[in-house]
Chains A and B, each alone.
Chain A
Amino acid sequence: RKEVEQDPGPFNVPEGATVAFNCTYSNSASQSFFWYRQDCRKEPKLLMSVYSSGNEDGRFTAQLNRASQYISLLIRDSKLSDSATYLCVVANQAGTALIFGKGTTLSVSS
């Protein structure tokens, strides 16, 4: 089982749509969770950390279910500029490095 698994997509949605991405991780001892965004041929950039209580940042909502080892990202009112690859990221057990999922590609069209 891969350490971090995501549905690769692509997700093709119209502007204004709501889209949800899912992610599962294998190491139950993982402590820190994040969503990163990566544009084509660029470095990943932190979108948001994910907390057990769930957290929201504008149109973006992240959820964590430790029992199921499941992380989600919800994007509301999609914009063209949201088109990118979204990476589910888990800090390793030692908390010293990040483990990346393959990413889910989102394409928002007008």
Chain B
Amino acid sequence: GAVVSQHPSRVICKSGTSVKIECRSLDFQATTMFWYRQFPKQSLMLMATSNEGSKATYEQGVEKDKFLINHASLTLSTLTVTSAHPEDSSFYICSARAQTGPSTGYGYTFGSGTRLTVV
């Protein structure tokens, strides 16, 4: 089945630094990838939709200059948290939809997530 690899799984960084999270589709091409964020005891919240070769579409309230998304190829999207602050500490998960197939559940594959802690 479709596999999405996300790295790193866990990162601790100092306040003010930037952190890059990678999301790769290993055995399929993903024209669209999604970035979610989940705070403790909260639901996954869609942050942005990443489209290969074009600018990402950000959800309302998500700062595009703070959360930089690059989708340079059909198998790789990156999320960079710039000038991270403690309130950015969260669980970040990417998801990719296979290029072909209907929009059903099997079409959405999730990475294993990145737990970011900003100290």
Contact = CB atoms under 8 A, between A and B. Distances in A.
B104 A100 contact: no
Interface in B31-78: 32, 34, 36, 41-46, 49
A101 B44 CA distance: 8
Contact of B32 (A36, A45, A46, A96): A96
Contacts of A43: 93, 110-113
Interface residues of B, number: 23
B43 A102 contact: yes
A41 B115 contact: yes
B104 A32 contact: yes
Contacts, number: 54
A32 B103 CA distance: 8
Given A95-B103, A100-B45, 17 more contacts: A31-B103, A32-B105, A34-B105, A41-B91, A41-B113, A43-B113, A45-B110, A49-B105, A87-B43, A87-B44, A96-B32, A97-B46, A97-B49, A98-B34, A98-B44, A101-B43, A102-B42
9 contacts: A32-B103, A32-B104, A41-B91, A87-B43, A96-B103, A97-B34, A97-B49, A100-B45, A101-B43
